[in-house]
Chains A and B, each alone.
Chain A
Amino acid sequence: MEEIPVSYYLVLSAILFACGVTGFLIKRNIITIFMSIELMLNGVNLSFVAFAARWHNLSGQVFVFFVMVVAAAEAAVGLAIIIAVFRTRETLNIDQVNLLKL
C-alpha cells in the first residue's frame, strides 16, 4: 500500500491553521473565536503526529496529548469565562466587551 506523503498532512495542517487564524481575526462571537483557537491547535496537532509517524518518534505524539490536555483545561476555563461574561453583559460580541482596552 502506497504511503501518504507527509507533505499532504502538512498542507492539511496549514489549511486548518489558516482557517483558525482567519476565523480568529474576522469573527465577532466569542464562542466562534474560541472554536477557531481549537482549530489552530488541532492543525498544529496534526502536523505533530504526521512528523511523529514519519520519523517513528513518539515525542510528537506525547506532545499532542499535552496539547489536548491543555486545550481541554483551557476550554473548561474559557467556557466558564464566556458564561460569566454573558451573564453580566448579555452579549457575546467581543467588540462590546473590550473594557481592558485603553
Chain B
Amino acid sequence: MNEPNLNLWLIPILPLIGAAINGLLGKRFSRQVVAAVALCFSGAAFAKALQVVLQFSSLPTIPHVETVATWLRSGDFSVSYSFALDQLSVVMLMVVTGVGFLIHIYSVGYMWEEGGYYRFFSYLNLFMFFMLTLVLASNYLLMFIGWEGVGLASYLLIGFFFTRDSAAAAGKKAFIVNRIGDFGFLIALFLMIQHFGSLNFSDVFSKIASNPQQFPVESAGAGVLTAIGLLLMVGACGKSAQIPLYVWLPDAMEGPTPVSALIHAATMVTAGVYMVARSHVIFERAPSAMMVVAIIGTLTAFFAATIGIAQTDIKKVLAYSTVSQLGYMFMACGVGAFSAGIFHLMTHAFFKGLLFLAAGSVIHAVGGEQDMRKMGGLWKKIPWTWGTMLIATCAIAGIPGLSGFFSKDEILWRAYQYPYGGPVFWIVGVVTAFMTSFYMFRLMFMTFAGEYRGAAGASHGHEEHAEHGTHLGRDDESRAGVPAPHDPAPHGHGHGGIHESPWVMLAPLVVLAILSVVGGWVGIPGSLGGNNHFDKFLGPVFRSSTPAVNAEHAQSGESVPPEQTTEGEEPKTGHSTELMFTGISVAAGLLGLFLAWLLYSAKPDLPDRIADSIHALYTAVANKYWVDEMYATIFVKPLIGISTLVFWRGVDQTVIDGTLNGGAAGARELSDEVRHMQSGNLRSYAGWIAIGAACVIAYMVWVGTR
C-alpha cells in the first residue's frame, strides 16, 4: 500500500470552515474581512484541488479512494465518509472550485451594496462545501448528502432577498420541486441497498459488471436496473431542471445574479448530469432508462429553447437557456455519449457562468433593471461586459472555434451516430441549436445594440419602447416612477449613470471569457484535426466494466479497447459525414444569428408583426405554455384542498386533536369523581385499605381453591 495520501477531505472542509466563520462571526466583521474570509477559503479549496489534480496522473490506482471514517454500519452494510478521485471527479472538481472561486470574486463586487453581506458569503461557501462533497463522494449516500446540501444552499440563496415575497416563494418552490426528485433518488438508493447491499460506487458497479447473468442488459424487459435508472433520472430531473420538474429554475432567478451563475448555471444544476454519468454502469444495462433520459433531455432542450425565445427578462432568457443546455447534456448521456455530456457540462459552466455574470454586470450598470425592452445601446457604455458577453454568446451559439461549438457538436454527432441515438435526436438538437443561437443573439441585440430605451436614459425613442410583446408592454410614464424591484439598496445610478462594473467584477468575466474560448480545445474531435483528449481522458471512467455494452458498441462500429475508441468510429461513418453534420449545425447557429440581427437590429418592428400574426402560439410561448398554471391546477390546488379538508380538518382536528382532547377531558372527569375518595378522613382510608385487603384475600382464596 503505497497510496499517496492526498487529504481529499480538505477540499470540501475548507469552504465549510469559511462558511462557519462568516456565518457565526460575520455579523461583527467589516465587509472587507467577510470578503477576505470567503475568498481565502474558497481560494484555498481551489488551490488544494489544483494540487490534487497535478498529482492525479501519478496516482497508482484510479479511482483513488480515501476513507476518513466509518459513518454507519448495520450488519454487512456499511457506509463511510470516503472520497474518491477519478477522471470524472477531477473534471467536476476543477469546474466547481475554479468557476466557484471566480464567482466568489465577482460577488465581492456585485453584492457590495447589499445587506446581509456575511450571510451571502456564508451560504456561498456552504454551497461549495456541499457541491464538493457531492462530486468527491465515493458512495451514493455521501453523494446524497451533498445533493441535499446543495439544495439547501440553493434554497437559502434563492430566498436571499427574503423580504421580497416572490423571492421567498421561489426559494420554497425550488426546494419543494427538488424534494420530488430527491424522493426518486432516495428510492433508487433503497433499491441499491436491497439488491447490491452496498452504496459504494465501486461495489455497486463491480457487482453489476461481474454478474452478467444476474444483471443482464435489460433490453427485452424492464428489471431492477431499469427501475434504479429511472428513479435516478427522477432525481436528476429535479436537480437539473428537466421536464417535468424544470419549473423551479426560472423562478430561481429571484436570487442574486452570482447565485444564478454559480448554482443555477455552472454547478448545482449539472449535478444531475454528473450523477447520471457517474451511474453509467447502471444506465448502460437499462436501455429503456437510457431512452427515457435521451427523450427527456431532447424534449427539454427543445421546449425550454422555445420559451427562451419570447422572454423579456434578461435572466429568464438565460434560465431557460440553461434548462435547454442541460437538456443537451441529458440527451448526450441518454444516447450513451457520457463524456460528451460532461464535456458540454464543463464548457457550459464556463460560458453560461460568464453569461450570467455579464448579465449581472448589465443589471448592475442599469441600476437593477432586468427587462431587456428597457435596455439597448449599452455596448459603448459597458464595453468589457459587452465584449465578454459576446464571446460567451458566440460560444453557446456554436460559432466555430469556441468551446460551445466543440461540445455541442460532439453531442449532436454522437446523438446521431451512437447506437442509442438516432436522426430524430440530431434533428431536434440542430433545431434547438438554431433557436439557442437566435434567442441568445436576440438578447445581445436587445441589450447592447440600438438606442438606450431605459426610463432613466436621456434619449429614449418612444416608438421603440414596445418593440416586443405588446400585451406585456407597460407605459413608460408609470415605469419611470416605479423603483426596480431587484434593487433593494439603490446606489445612485437610478438616474442615468450607466457605468462599467469595477475590476473585481470584470476580472472573473475576462477569465471566464478566455475559458469560454479555449475550454473546448481539449476536446477537438478527430474530424477537425484534433484527437479529442477530453474523451480519451474520461475514457477509463466510462468504458470500464461494461463488456456487454462495449460488445454492442463493437457491433455498431465501436471497438472495445478504450484506446481505439475514436478510431473505432471511422468504419461506420467517415470524417466527411461528421464534417457535414458539423457544417449543418454551424449553419443553424449562423442562421439564428442572422435572424436575430434581422428581427432585432435591422427591422425592429418585425417581431411585433410576427407575434401578432401567430398570436395564439406567441401568447402560449410568452406565458411559458402555462405550465406553472397547469401544475397549480393539477397538483397544487387539489393538494391544498385535500390537505385542508382531509388532513387538517379531518385527520388533524378530528382524529388527533379529538383523541388528545377527549383523553384529557375524560381524565379530568374521572379524577373529579375519584377525588372524593381522598376525603382526609383517616377511617375512610382505613376502610378502603380493609376493602382492598379483603379483595386481595378473596382473589387469592379464589385462585388457591380453583
Contacts and interface: CB of A to CB of B under 8 A. Distances in A.
Interface string B660-693: 0000000000000000000111110011001000
B680 A101 contact: yes
A88 interface: no
A99 to B, nearest CB: 10
A102 B675 CA distance: 13
Contacts, number: 18
A48 B679 CA distance: 34
Contacts of A25: 683, 686-687, 690
Nearest to A18: B690
Instruction: Assign chain B's interface to a size class.
Output: under 10
Nearest to A27: B683
Contacts of A94: 682-683
Contacts of A24: 683, 686
Contacts of A96: none
A101 B681 contact: yes
A94 B685 CA distance: 14
Contacts of A100: 680
Interface size class of A (residues with CB under 8 A): under 10
Nearest to A33: B683
B680 A102 contact: yes
A65 B257 CA distance: 96
Interface in B172-206: none
Interface in B423-462: none
Q: Is the interface of B mostly helix, strand, loop or mixed?
A: helix
A98 B681 contact: yes
A71 interface: no
A101 B679 CA distance: 8
Contacts of B681: 98, 101
Nearest to B690: A21
A13 B681 CA distance: 27
A98 B680 contact: yes
A100 B682 CA distance: 10
Interface string A13-46: 0000000010011000000000000000000000
Nearest to A100: B680
A85 B101 CA distance: 91
Nearest to B697: A14
Nearest to B687: A25
A25 B690 CA distance: 10
Contacts of B682: 94, 98
A94 B683 CA distance: 10
A11 B429 CA distance: 105
Interface string A69-102: 0000000000000000000000000100010111
A101 B682 CA distance: 9
Nearest to A21: B690
**Which of B679, B681, B683, B690 has most chain A Cβ within 10 Å?**
B683
Interface string B335-353: 0000000000000000000
A86 to B, nearest CB: 18
A24 B688 CA distance: 13
Contacts of B683: 24-25, 94
Contacts of B686: 21, 24-25
A102 B682 CA distance: 12
A26 to B, nearest CB: 8
A68 to B, nearest CB: 22
A40 B687 CA distance: 14
A102 B681 CA distance: 9
A18 to B, nearest CB: 9
Contacts of B680: 98, 100-102
A102 B680 CA distance: 6
A25 B679 CA distance: 15
A58 B447 CA distance: 113
A24 B681 CA distance: 13
A34 B687 CA distance: 16
A98 B682 CA distance: 9
Interface of B: 679-683, 686-687, 690
Interface of A: 21, 24-25, 94, 98, 100-102
Q: Which 3 A-B pairs have the closest CB atoms?
A: A101-B680, A102-B680, A21-B690
18 contacts: A21-B686, A21-B690, A24-B683, A24-B686, A25-B683, A25-B686, A25-B687, A25-B690, A94-B682, A94-B683, A98-B680, A98-B681, A98-B682, A100-B680, A101-B679, A101-B680, A101-B681, A102-B680
Given A21-B690, A100-B680, A101-B681, 5 more contacts: A25-B683, A94-B683, A98-B680, A101-B679, A101-B680
